[in-house]
Amino acid sequence: MRPFLPPETSTLKAAIVARNARRLRRASEQLRPSTWAQREALAALRAASARLRGAQRTEFLFGPDLRSWLSAAEEAIALSHPPASDLDLFDRIARGAHLSEAVPRGRIDRMFRRRVAMLARRLLSRVFAGIPGLVAFLTPPAARFGPFPLDLGPDGEEARLRSEVHLRFPIPSTLRHAEGAGLELVKGGIRVVGTGRPADLKLRETIEGSGIVLTRRVLSSRRGLRPGPAVPGLSHRLGRALDLLRQIWPEAHRETLAHTRVVTPIVAPGTVSFSLPDRPGVSYINVWRKSLVDLADDLLHETAHHRLHGLEELARLDRDDGEARYHSPWRRSPRPLRGILHAAYTFTYRAELLSRMSRTGGPAPRAWTSKELDFEREALRTSLRDLADAERKGLLTPAGAKLRRAIASRALRI
């Protein structure tokens, strides 16, 4: 079946899996363990990845857990071997999420490299600590690794409370452990040691009628995200939104199931939804006072972002320097080129969804659907003109120019 926007998901997925296999091999070769537990963790990672075959291998290499871990590992490895120039090191730090830690006063000072070295050690420690949960239940039958300490604190991005470890295999689950517990990887399974109690393993909630994991809500503050309680009844509501998407646009429903692996409800004033490049497949969605149409729209919107993040993993699409060059009709403010490209890509999906709703008489009022569709068409025309201008100025790479033409071709038919 011809994709709405190329490439086909099967083609995109195969390319990402092949690339991540190379990234994993390279990271496992470059990581330098400094403790017995780290050496055991690295050995467990190598043993698990070597035995994976077929669908399980694809799921491991395409899933959000490994892709997030790879991003963290590559950053830690890079910072452990910093360039000689402070400016080059600053540029490298600025591309990640830890600039404020390395440059708390907003400028390079005599403590800059020491802070970067401390940051690199902390990130490496976190990378090694994440391996046991990453490869739990994937240990070869004749192997045994650990025990590894389990003292992870809460994590807002993962919607994880203290003393919890999220596992992906054989099915998404959460391991709850007591303080001081250790995790041993044995014969395709796990064993919790040091507590005298069996492992407390609970299946993770999923969106009704799908395999998409639904987490507890997370709360946004100046200090970042922090985990909160679950949202009662949300699995059913999101399940109905998915079913609505299936009725209106079956291909978009399949894309959502293929690219969205985790939905995390957020409490963040002024935020509709977002996703992070280093957590592909994880959609953060503000679900409060949302209609089923809103929820279906949000699920599809973040799915489009996941698709585009996947394309960006495979090839650079722009030569964006971060300057706010073009006005965004959606933000109503100037935005960098990459923001315009992402908006044009993702809102083309929304325009198609609205177009199908207007033809089939979806649950939203016809006047509202028509008004929203008119806005999306005009916004896309404006942004596609700006992207054409960026292409003429050499700000899009060949891959980005090809994508712009695909978006334009599709948008003209909506």
> pLDDT in tens for each of the 414 residues of the chain?
578 999 999 999 999 999 999 999 999 999 999 999 999 999 999 999 999 999 999 999 999 999 999 999 999 998 888 888 878 787 777 777 777 777 787 778 888 888 888 888 999 999 999 999 999 999 998 899 989 988 667 888 899 988 889 999 889 999 988 877 889 999 888 988 887 666 688 999 999 999 999 999 998 877 778 898 999 999 999 999 999 999 999 999 999 999 999 999 998 777 788 998 888 999 999 998 899 999 999 999 999 999 999 999 999 999 988 788 899 999 999 999 999 999 999 999 999 999 999 998 778 899 999 999 999 999 999 999 999 999 999 999 999 999 999 999 999 999
Sequence-distant (≥ 6) Cβ neighbours of residue 45 within 8 angstroms = 28, 131, 134, 135
Cβ(112)–Cβ(103) below 8 Å: yes
Please name the residue that has the structure tokens 């400028």.
Answer: 107
Which tokens hold the place of 386?
Answer: 């700006």
Residue 84: CB partners within 8 Å, gap ≥ 6? none
Total residues belonging to the chain: 414
* Model pTM score: 0.92
> What's the distance, Cα to Cα, between the start and end of the chain in Å?
19
* CB neighbourhood size of 229 (10 A): 8
* Contact present, 159 and 264 (Cβ < 8 Å): yes
- Bridge partners (DSSP) listed for residue 333: 328
Q: Decide: helix, strand or coil at residue 32.
A: coil
Beta-bridge partners for 166: 174
CA distance 410 to 391: 18
